[in-house]
Amino acid sequence: MASLQSIHLYHIPGFRSTRVLWLYLELQKLYENKLGFTLPSLIVQEFKDVTKFRNEKSKFYLEDCNPNGKVPTLVDPNKDVVMWESCACCLYLLETYDIDGVMLDRVNPKERSLYHQLAFYSSGTLDNLTSTSSPVQRAVLALQQGPANMKVVLKKENKVSWDTIIAPYYEQLLLQNGGPYLVGQNFKAIDVIFGHDLYGLHEKLI
């Protein structure tokens, strides 16, 4: 059997690539001693200077991998796969390497449908409550303020949305499924997805 090549993750600490790294580490812990299965190692290309990262125009992952030129970008040479968008990267890792369905049940339609629903909800709604770097945001601000003066200010309506709509929904879900996690007694992939949102909300909004 050919040896596995390392997966590459392009990452900025605290950004949405954190979801992908967190989930990989959960899978690594689960499968580190499993006979007959090897999880490929992960090489993390970490960018700590966010301003330099955003201003650098000749990034290979911008040109060849990710048209947005953003993190996360996940490259798995073992499957000839390049992924971007954090929830899509997470789903890829689950479907490809969570072979026992520990973090996401492989057959239970209720658990799988809830994962898909909440993952899309996170990427399409929750992330936008604290987002300050989307291409659309930055294009609009560049027109309004000028490229040199762009400053994203989170709207107070975002916190109202969290307090009155989103937080009560998740509280109800926890009670409905018996907690302490979103689908019950066991920590699952969707807790990673939502956990990153909670981190962003705590840092920027709550």
Quick one: pLDDT at residue 129? Answer: 87
What is the reported pLDDT for 157? Answer: 87
pLDDT of res. 58: 45
Check residue 148 and give its pLDDT. Answer: 53
Consecutive 10-residue averages of pLDDT for the chain (206 residues): 88 94 98 94 91 66 74 95 96 98 97 97 91 64 60 76 94 95 96 95 79
Instruction: Give the pLDDT confidence score for residue 131 in this predicted structure.
Output: 79
129: tokens are 């409550």
Q: What is the phi/psi pair of residue 136, to 5°?
A: -65, -45
3-state secondary structure the chain: CCCCCCEEEEECCCCCHHHHHHHHHHHHHHHCCCCCCCCCCEEEEECCCHHHHHHCCCCHHHHHHCCCCCCCEEEECCCCEEEECHHHHHHHHHHHHCCCCCCCCCCCHHHHHHHHHHHHHHHHHHHHHHCCCCHHHHHHHHHHHCHHHCCCCCCHHHHHHHHHHHHHHHHHHHHHHCCCECCECCCCHHHHHHHHHHHHHHHHCC
Q: Please give the Cα distance from 143 to 146 (Å, whole number).
A: 6
**Cα distance between residue 113 and residue 10, in whole Å:** 28
Structural contact between residues 101 and 31, judged by C-beta atoms closer than 8 angstroms: no
| Cα angle 95, 97, 98; round to 5 | 75
What is the residue whose two structure tokens read 């001693």? Answer: 33
pLDDT at 143: 67
Measured between alpha carbons, how far is 11 from 18 in angstroms, rounded to an integer?
A: 7
Please report the pLDDT score of residue 50 as a whole number: 81
CB 36 within 8 A of CB 71: no
